[in-house]
Structure 1
């Protein structure tokens, strides 16, 4: 017998599991919680690593300098190359240069207008996500919690000092795209995702996931749409590579590469520093990161499936490839990440009920 949901509008994904499967999921959750504590053993970035001194703030100063140079009429690629050299940043491969769109836009607009656009994007993202979550959480207490969790996940995204940081804009665009996509309604989501990729190329991973899921579900037109967005992005990226090649040479510093292999603990740190969890003790924040992931798996909805796939993919990429000083990759998925905690009560209750179910089905043979 399925019990009535606690907060969700319908039973969680785990409400119909067998006792054996429920116990396996609980065991997996226990492993996930323990794995999250690996963050306590992740070292801090070396003091002489690019961006390690102040991390995001140092990078923000770099981007602000590029915007200032473009504002005064300098070519973007020449300005970026000069700023990277002055800051002892690597210039090779071409991916060490950000795509020019955001810097050119900021150079063309007054700072107040740019900040207003950021706030408008953050407000639109929060509003759309709240509406989607409200569909699954009919009660006022659950909706208030969801609103609080959204605010906690978006703390970094409304800081004026970070307006030049590419991950801030791309993370909001990815979150907005994800919330706007519904079965049969994907055009706006794909268009916004394309903009996200043109701001920060790491957003392409999200688009690959959306394309793959659409294909797996037999949504051919949608899959083609996401693939078309990837095609446009690939063309722009190729032109970007050519432009970077024109302002760099073999004597320029090369990137140390992206093979950090710091494990799940670095992903936990990334999500902690990208959200309001940074205000909590490290161990408590780590456990909440794990529970947020679990919560998203509890919600039985196409949006939750895509959210879980996206968060898991970025967790894998950060765990394997991010360096200690590139933890900010977590900003790409931070805005809605903590909202998964709102689904935890129903998921845990349903798992506990199913795991402790001792009922047996008895078959009696009646001979006539």
Structure 2
């Protein structure tokens, strides 16, 4: 077996039999072909009108709260003004982020966002450093991490819930180690209280802990889900107090909302427009998303299994229950996606070597 190119040890693909390697190679080819479905998936371009509308909406809610307004009252009024549906788990988010922004100076809120991003970089550098044998490979991995976070540290988007939840999910995933999960679960809970779609991440971590026979850890993640459920129940009750009968009748049919079942192409598009891949042609960006997924599947590390599982689950969620704005949804899992590309050189070499290995054991009968 040849030594790894970039990694300190061979990928999962290196141990595959000839037949299994060919099967995995066929699956990856199908995955890459499926990514081109994104070329026909509808959605606004990055930085489009819907992005700006969301920023104005949530900035307006925070500004009203700074002047003494009640969150649910001012949020409902803002949604009515923009012809948005007043949905307790959709447009009318949990009050966590708005409450924090309302009591802190804008400069301090931005400093918190950048500090969170810096914490993600530090934690993931510690996790990725042992995986790569040489400094250039480590630098590439960190550049890919920074690229995935590029859209999440823009000052203009500080009021967008998905950027906070996305950074918290990345930090939580990077912090979790066998026997060390309390901090990760606490940050996962914070992510859920800011953006409800982070609940899928926490539920996945609980299931993976059960699979790995980490019962205490699994119960910890489930406890976080329980706290989140209580918060959601209180939130739904509070929303019911401000919803009036005319709200449903006055909605604009074209207002942002659920876009229907859009399939795997929607996830690929969401990942592309949420990262610097938006700056290259779609026909090139789409297969790079697929390669990043394959890279995560190849790295022989428990962290890689969790990262790949979480990305796969969000791909299913996005495809089944996609929003009309894929850029905001993609931000929830964008930070770590592109890191998977750093594992592709070794993964490709190991997989092709196993798939093309035609060595056979020849038994010779010697006559005596």
Shorter-normalised TM range: over 0.9
Map 1:223-238; keep pairs closer than 5 Å.
Answer: 223-238=218-233
User: Do 1:94 and 1:244's aligned partners in 2 also have CA atoms closer than 8 Å?
Assistant: no
Match of 2:241 in 1: 246
**More deviation in 252-261 or 302-311?**
252-261
User: Do 1:94 and 1:245's aligned partners in 2 also have CA atoms closer than 8 Å?
Assistant: no
What TM-score results when the alignment is normalised by the length of structure 1? 0.94
Match of 1:57 in 2: 52
**More deviation in 353-362 or 307-316?**
353-362
Shift of the 94–153 alpha-carbon distance from structure 1 to 2, 3 Å rule, reads closer
Match of 1:37 in 2: 36
Shift of 1:320: 1.4
Q: Does 1:25 align with 2:20?
A: no
Map 1:199-348; keep pairs closer than 5 Å.
Answer: 199-253=194-248, 258=258, 260-348=260-348
Match of 2:119 in 1: 124
CA offsets per residue over residues 13-55 of structure 1, 9 Å max, x none? 1001001110111111111111111111112459xxxx99612
Shift of 1:134: 1.1
CA RMSD in angstroms comes to 2.0
CA–CA distance in 2 between the matches of 1:328 and 1:108? 25
Match of 1:6 in 2: 5
Q: Does 1:164 align with 2:163?
A: no
CA–CA distance in 1 between the matches of 2:113 and 2:47? 26
Shift of 1:256: 8.1
Residue ranges of structure 1 left out of the alignment (5+ in a row): none
Report the number of matched residues: 363
Structure 1 segments, 4+ long, off by >6 Å, are 254-257, 365-368
User: Do 1:91 and 1:252's aligned partners in 2 also have CA atoms closer than 8 Å?
Assistant: yes
Shift of 1:239: 0.4
Q: Does 1:75 align with 2:70?
A: yes
CA offsets per residue over residues 119-143 of structure 1, 9 Å max, x none? 0000111111122111101211101
Q: Does 1:196 align with 2:194?
A: no
Residue ranges of structure 2 left out of the alignment (5+ in a row): none
CA offsets per residue over residues 349-368 of structure 1, 9 Å max, x none? 00000001111124567899
Match of 2:135 in 1: 140
What TM-score results when the alignment is normalised by the length of structure 2? 0.94
Q: Does 1:178 align with 2:181?
A: no
Provide the secondary structure at the position in 1 that maps to 2:246.
coil
Shift of the 257–53 alpha-carbon distance from structure 1 to 2, 3 Å rule, reads closer
